């Protein structure tokens, strides 16, 4: 674990934040939602093994009936190119077949393009995480002590 106060590296023109997840509506219908859940790990493994695809980092979260993967991408172009790649298309088709007309599970995704000067972060005594993990971290200093200072950096 890193000790101290850190922020994300400020030398980035753009970062794409992609959220994808599912909501289990009928927990007792495990045969309906488990295949949907299991469609994601192969794609995450591919993104971990092939950084050249453009996914900088991701974090996964679980709640009682929900999953969420927060992914950080270098560019919108790389995210869209991955969405059209052969490996992803096969996994997405399987995912859609399992999820379509399946009232036991809901799925969603959201995509945010964040430009330079429109993002900031703060980490105190944290391991590499989130945006700092994706684009790098730096120690906070006199010019990066407050969120207002960090968001205003160019």
Residue 89 confidence (pLDDT):
84
Whether residue 1 is predicted with pLDDT greater than 70 in this model: the reply is no
Q: How much is the average pLDDT of 102-126?
A: 88
pLDDT tens digits, one per residue of 132-142: 889 888 888 88
pLDDT tens digits, one per residue of 72-100: 999 999 999 999 888 788 877 877 777 77
Residue 153 confidence (pLDDT):
60
Cα–Cα distance, 126 to 104 (Å, whole number): 37
Cα–Cα distance, 142 to 124 (Å, whole number): 16
Cβ-count burial 36-47 (b if 16+ within 10 Å, e if not): beebbeebeebb
Across the chain, the runs of DSSP E, i.e. the strands, are 5-8, 14-24, 55-62, 66-73, 105-115, 123-124, 137-139
pTM, to two decimals: 0.86
Q: How much is the average pLDDT of 17-41?
A: 91
The per-residue pLDDT of the chain, averaged, comes to 87
Integer-rounded Cα Rg, in Å, for the chain is 18
pLDDT tens digits, one per residue of 9-27: 777 778 999 999 999 999 9
Whether residue 37 is predicted with pLDDT greater than 70 in this model: the reply is yes
Report which of residues 144 and 106 the model is more confident about: 106
Q: Exposed, middle or buried by CB within 10 Å (0-12, 13-18, 19+), for 84?
A: exposed
Cα–Cα distance, 140 to 150 (Å, whole number): 9
Residue 48 confidence (pLDDT):
94
Tell me the C-alpha to C-alpha distance, in Å, between residue 75 and each of 17, 27, 29, 78: 9, 36, 37, 5
Q: Quick one: which of 122, 127, 131 has its CA closest to 3?
A: 127
Most confident of 8-12, 46-50, 115-119: 46-50
Q: Model confidence at 113, in pLDDT bands (50, 70, 90)?
A: very high
């Amino acid at each position: 674990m890193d000790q101290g106060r850190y922020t994300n590296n400020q030398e980035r023109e753009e970062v794409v934040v992609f959220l994808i997840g599912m909501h289990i509506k009928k927990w007792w219908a495990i045969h309906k939602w488990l295949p949907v859940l299991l469609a994601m790990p192969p794609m995450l493994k591919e993104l971990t093994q092939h950084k050249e695809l453009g996914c900088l980092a991701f974090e996964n979260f679980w709640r009682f009936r929900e999953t969420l993967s927060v992914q950080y991408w270098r560019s919108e172009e790389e995210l869209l190119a991955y969405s059209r790649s052969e490996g992803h298309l096969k996994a997405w088709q399987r995912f859609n077949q399992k999820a379509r007309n399946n009232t036991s599970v809901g799925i969603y995704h959201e995509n945010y393009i964040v430009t330079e000067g429109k993002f900031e972060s703060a980490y105190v005594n944290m391991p590499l995480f989130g945006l700092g993990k994706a684009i790098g971290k730096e120690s906070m200093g006199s010019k990066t002590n407050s969120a207002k200072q960090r968001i205003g950096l160019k």
